[in-house]
Amino acid sequence: MSGQSTYQPTSAVGKWFESRLPVMGLVHDTMLNFPTPKNLNYWWTFGGILATFLVLQIITGIVLAMQYTPHVDFAFESVEKIMRDVNYGWLLRYAHANGASMFFLAVYIHIFRGLYYGSYKQPRELLWIIGVIIYLVMMATAFMGYLLPWGQMSFWGATVITNFFSAFPIVGDPIVEWLRGGFVVGNPTLNRFFSLHYLTPFILVGLVGLHVWALHVPGNANPTGVEVKSVKDDTVPFHPYYTLKDSFAIVVFMILFLWFVFFAPNFLGEVDNYIKANPLVTPAHIVPEWYFLPFYAILRAVPDKLGGVLLMFASIGVLFILPWLDTSKVKSATFRPLYKQFFFIFVAVSIGLGYLGGKPAEGGYILAARILTAYYFAHFLIIMPILGLIEKPKKLPESIAKAVLDKNGDDPGGGGAPAEAVTAPETKG
Amino acid sequence: MFRSKIAVTALALAALAAINLTPVAAVEAEGPANKKLDWSFEGIFGTYDRGSLQRGYRVYKEVCASCHSMNLLSYRNLSQPGGPEFTLEQVKALAAEFDVQDGPNDEGEMFERAGLPSDRFVSPFPNEEAARASNGGALPPDLSLIVKARKDGPNYLYSLLTGYEENPPAGVELGEGMNYNPYFTGHQIAMAPPLSEEAVEYTDGTKPSVENLSKDVVMFLAWAAEPKLEERKSLGFKVLIYLIILAGLMYAANKKLWSRIKH
Ligand code: HEM
């Protein structure tokens, strides 16, 4: 997206069009000709998977909205009408509900990929920050969407979560009332959540545009963390190399997604949501969708309501300043023996928090949640800054091309280049 | 590279495990585990048992329908593919057994007429208050979605229907009008045992034992909650086969393409 386009339209119409609106050149430069490191592994395919799911959610959502009625007396029944009487309505609805889950699974893998390979570091700080904003808007979108089927968990989930804002002094209660459009979750809440649930995905589209724009200035990071030195030696054009590789990964991920849709469509959902919302009956356990559970655990780990809410926001807020908390110059965990271990502990802690978020907030669970919450913050605020100072990284390869050659060095057909003094540290790691 | 590959695979598995763990969260640790039956509609190729669905409808109509509504169903659904598949003639006759209020007519009067396939299942009570008044204050829930609204739905319902105990264990004080059933939350349920041997007359030679009656009505309720299950599974099978073959081809093409490049 920067610099002079190399795109040359061949037809007269193409030339006429391009000289007035260079949109084909833009597509050419960003999606076809874009120089991409040749050593990206499959963890780099999740960006494409995420884009696919955004489009999928928007398409299934718009068609669902043609049959859905955002009114407390009809919402639950209209979703059931979609399931029973609309042609392939069951497919749309199950695809949209499970699509949201897969979207989050993909974004978590995408984020942890960034953490492992240090993708947030200079010069990609802004790219990372836009990513965190995308994640926040995704969460808001899914939270509001979950109210729409107007089941018991929809109603009580929204009640509990909006209620947390009442923890703020003075402004708390007015905020809650403003969010709900009344004193309790009711028809005005359903109406505004539907309206916003329709809006925020398009905000996401805009943010994703910025994300990709910010990506195309420095280009992709890569598993070695060594920046591209020579476009000729280190990169391949995005098309056909990564269009094909990404498409393959998308199809594989679709198989997982559609397996849920067709064979276990309610596995990730809560049974209580097949009971229509009833303000007079509280479900035994109110749990959010699985993708919110780690934050729910952090929220409930704090005895003080306001403290819990602040800590929950801080748990995502800390990601914004991560590029400045990490003091190491080396990007990839492959070359950071200590960080690599702490990374996997952090993954385990995050999953542990998710597990605890689904358990009742009592006894040992609370204690465990407190310990893991403390560790979660310590990872970013203490471990990351210190590691960069004390860790002795392994020797980095000179370039991507070198690293690739070394990896293939013992391969008889390996391009003839003798393995150099710079060994590929990954194989020894 | 190998080490880090293991590491990243572990990460993916861990992410998946995180999803797997969550549904366990809401299970209540009380009462015996549900009786487990082999339901014909489970598994990738599962379908409902037509005969069982038809018998199940009769159990619902002749027993449960005197207390429980099924508001999301219409009589026409009984002839749809993937369901009990009564013939259209049979459905017309089944619907006509009910009186339905219609109107207003040209004079502005409401009137009663025989049911039509397009009518919703007739409810036993006009409103929640009437339902409670006839059931000692307890509300018989609508059964349209009940199988999907309970954990392990089919097995739970079967266990509930066959799990009544005449004499509660020592020390358990039953409330007024309550019955002992260890599968129900709190073990005391306001619904008296609804099924007994030969409660419904079967005409196809199936023995109308409590077990069979329960099994059939649960099959019927499972269909009512998920009427598109057969369509879903058969389409899903085709789609997944197609995608798996496509993935195989793309893998090969991708490998071929990249073989030109050292990466
Ligand atoms: C970022 C993309 C989106 C996400 C993550 C998302 C998420 C969700 C979730 C979690 C639900 C509740 C599903 C359930 O349990 O039934 C839902 C429902 C719904 N969404 Fe979306 N959604 C997205 C985009 C859209 C768009 C663009 C529309 C267009 C209007 C839309 C329309 C609906 C409707 C009508 C429902 C209610 C029907 C139902 O519950 O299945 N969604 N959404």
Q: How far apart are CA A329 and CA B52, in angstroms?
A: 68
CA of A194 to the centre of ligand 1 (A): 9
CA of A60 to the centre of ligand 1 (A): 8
User: Is A255–B247 a contact, with Cβ atoms under 8 angstroms apart?
Assistant: yes
For chain A, the C-alpha Rg in angstroms (whole number) is 24
Which residue's CA is minimally distant from atom 33 of ligand 1? A61
Tokens of B70: 């099924």
Q: How far apart are CA A301 and CA A374, in angstroms?
A: 10
Given CATH 1.10.287, say whether it is the number of domain A292-405: yes
Give the strand pairing for B111-114 and B99-102: antiparallel
Q: Which of A349, A259, A353 is nearest to A299 (CA)?
A: A353
Count how many domains chain B has.
2
If you count residue pairs, one on A and one on B, with CB atoms under 8 Å apart, how many are there?
154
Identify any residues that bridge with B113 across adjacent strands, giving them in sequence order: B100
The answer to whether residues B136 and B252 belong to one domain is no
Amino acid at B5: K
Tokens of A297: 């655990």
Q: How far apart are CA A141 and CA A143, in angstroms?
A: 5
Q: What is the CATH number of the domain that holds B122?
A: 1.10.760.10
Work out which ligand 1 atom sits closest to the CA atom of A101: 10
Intra-chain end-to-end CA distance of chain B, in Å: 12
Best mutation site among A58, A197, A204, A271 for ligand 1 pocket (most ligand atoms within 8 Å of CB): A197
Q: What is the pLDDT of residue A20?
A: 94
Residue A122 contacts residue A309 (beta carbons within 8 Å): no
User: Is B22–A427 a contact, with Cβ atoms under 8 angstroms apart?
Assistant: no
The verdict on A329 touching B (C-beta cutoff 8 Å) is: no
Pocket of ligand 1 (CB under 6 A): A 54, 57-58, 61-62, 64-65, 68, 79, 93, 96-97, 100, 103, 138, 141-142, 145-146, 148-149, 197-198, 201, 204, 269
Tokens of B93: 């006759």
Residues of chain A with pLDDT under 50: 1-2, 410-429
Q: What is the pLDDT of residue A31?
A: 83
User: Is B262–A404 a contact, with Cβ atoms under 8 angstroms apart?
Assistant: yes
Q: How far apart are CA A382 and CA A384, in angstroms?
A: 6
Tokens of A161: 């979560």
Distance from the Cα of residue A92 to its chain's centroid: 22
Q: What is the pLDDT of residue A429?
A: 32
What is the average pLDDT score of chain B?
Answer: 90
The answer to whether residues B124 and B240 belong to one domain is no
Instruction: Provide the chain A residues 393-412 that lie in CB contact (below 8 A) with chain B.
Output: 401, 404-405, 407-408
Q: How far apart are CA B148 and CA B72, in angstroms?
A: 13
The verdict on A241 touching B (C-beta cutoff 8 Å) is: yes
CA of A205 to the centre of ligand 1 (A): 15
**Residue B161, number of CB atoms within 10 A of its CB:** 23
Q: What is the pLDDT of residue A3?
A: 52
Work out which ligand 1 atom sits closest to the CA atom of A137: 1
The answer to whether residues B88 and B153 belong to one domain is yes
pLDDT above 70: percentage of residues in chain B? 89
Tokens of A84: 């029973």
In a domain, B22, yes or no: no
A-chain residues near B262 (CB < 8 A): 38, 401, 404-405, 408, 414-415
The answer to whether residues B129 and B248 belong to one domain is no
The verdict on A245 touching B (C-beta cutoff 8 Å) is: yes
* CA torsion angle B242 B247 B250 B251 (round to 10): -150
Q: What is the pLDDT of residue A2?
A: 45
**Residue B2, number of CB atoms within 10 A of its CB:** 9
Average pLDDT (B112-125) is 97
Q: What is the pLDDT of residue A54?
A: 98
In a domain, B187, yes or no: no
In a domain, B173, yes or no: no
Residues B163-220: tens digit of each pLDDT: 999 999 988 989 999 999 999 999 999 999 999 999 999 999 999 999 999 999 999 9
Average pLDDT (B237-250) is 98
The answer to whether residues B50 and B90 belong to one domain is yes
Q: Which of A342, A334, A352 is nearest to A387 (CA)?
A: A342
Tokens of A110: 């995408």
Amino acid at A38: K
The answer to whether residues B103 and B212 belong to one domain is yes
Work out which ligand 1 atom sits closest to the CA atom of A273: 15
Residue B230 contacts residue B82 (beta carbons within 8 Å): yes
User: Is B17–A351 a contact, with Cβ atoms under 8 angstroms apart?
Assistant: yes
Determine the structural domain holding residue B244 and report its residue range: 228-263
- 3-class DSSP string for chain A: CCCCCCCCCCCHHHHHHHHHCCHHHHHHHHHHCCEEECCCCHHHHHHHHHHHHHHHHHHHHHHHHCCCCCCCCCHHHHHHHHHHCCCCHHHHHHHHHHHHHHHHHHHHHHHHHHHHHCCCCCCCHHHHHHHHHHHHHHHHHHHHHHHCCCEHHHHHHHHHHHHHHHHCCCCHHHHHHHHHCCCCCCHHHHHHHHHHHHHHHHHHHHHHHHHHHHHHCCCCCCCCCCCCCCHHHHEEEHHHHHHHHHHHHHHHHHHHHHHHHHHCCCCCCCHHHHCECCCCCCCCCCCCCHHHHHHHHHHHHCCCHHHHHHHHHHHHHHHHCHHHHCCCCCCCHHHCHHHHHHHHHHHHHHHHHHHHHCCCCCHHHHHHHHHHHHHHHHHHHHHHHHHHHHCCCCCCCCCHHHHHHHHCCCCCCCCCCCCCCCCCHHHHC
Q: How confident is the model at residue B31 (pLDDT cuts 50, 70, 90)?
A: confident
Residue A157 contacts residue A357 (beta carbons within 8 Å): no
Is pLDDT above 90 for B20?
Answer: no
Q: How far apart are CA A303 and CA A315, in angstroms?
A: 17
The answer to whether residues B54 and B146 belong to one domain is yes
Domain boundaries, chain A: 28-269, 292-405
Tokens of B169: 């264990």
B-chain residues near A240 (CB < 8 A): 257
Q: Which residues contact B177 (CB under 8 A, 6 or more apart)?
A: B136, B190
> Which residue in the block uniquely carries the two structure tokens 């499972």?
B222
B-chain residues near A220 (CB < 8 A): none
CA of A6 to the centre of ligand 1 (A): 41
The answer to whether residues B87 and B53 belong to one domain is yes
ipTM for the assembly: 0.89
- 3-class DSSP string for chain B: CHHHHHHHHHHHHHHHHHHHHHHHHHCCCCCCCCCCCCCCCCCCCCCCCHHHHHHHHHHHHHCHHHCCCCCCCEHHHHHCCCCCCCCHHHHHHHHHCCEEEECCCCCCCCEEEECCCCCECCCCCCCHHHHHHHCCCCCCCCCCCCCCCCCCHHHHHHHHHHCCCCCCCCCCCCCCCCEECCCCCCCEECCCCCCCCCCCCCCCCCCCCHHHHHHHHHHHHHHHHCCCHHHHHHHHHHHHHHHHHHHHHHHHHHHHHHCCCCC
Q: How far apart are CA B190 and CA B171, in angstroms?
A: 19
* Residue B26 or residue B234, greater confidence: B234
Q: Which residues contact A150 (CB under 8 A, 6 or more apart)?
A: A72, A75, A76, A79, A190, A276, A277
The answer to whether residues B235 and B156 belong to one domain is no
Tokens of A105: 């699974």
Instruction: Provide the chain A residues 281-320 that lie in CB contact (below 8 A) with chain B.
Output: 284-285, 287, 290, 293
In a domain, B176, yes or no: no
CATH level 3 topology of A28-269: Cytochrome Bc1 Complex; Chain C (1.20.810)
Q: Which residues contact A110 (CB under 8 A, 6 or more apart)?
A: A46, A47, A50, A131
The answer to whether residues B199 and B262 belong to one domain is no
* Residue A337 or residue B2, greater confidence: A337
Q: What is the pLDDT of residue A409?
A: 58
The answer to whether residues B147 and B240 belong to one domain is no
Residues B120-163: tens digit of each pLDDT: 999 999 999 999 999 999 999 999 999 999 999 999 999 999 99
Residue B69 contacts residue B143 (beta carbons within 8 Å): yes
CA of A94 to the centre of ligand 1 (A): 10
Identify any residues that bridge with B22 across adjacent strands, giving them in sequence order: none
Q: Which of A41, A34, A49 is nearest to A208 (CA)?
A: A49
User: ω before A240 within 30° of 0 (cis)?
Assistant: yes
The answer to whether residues B98 and B83 belong to one domain is yes
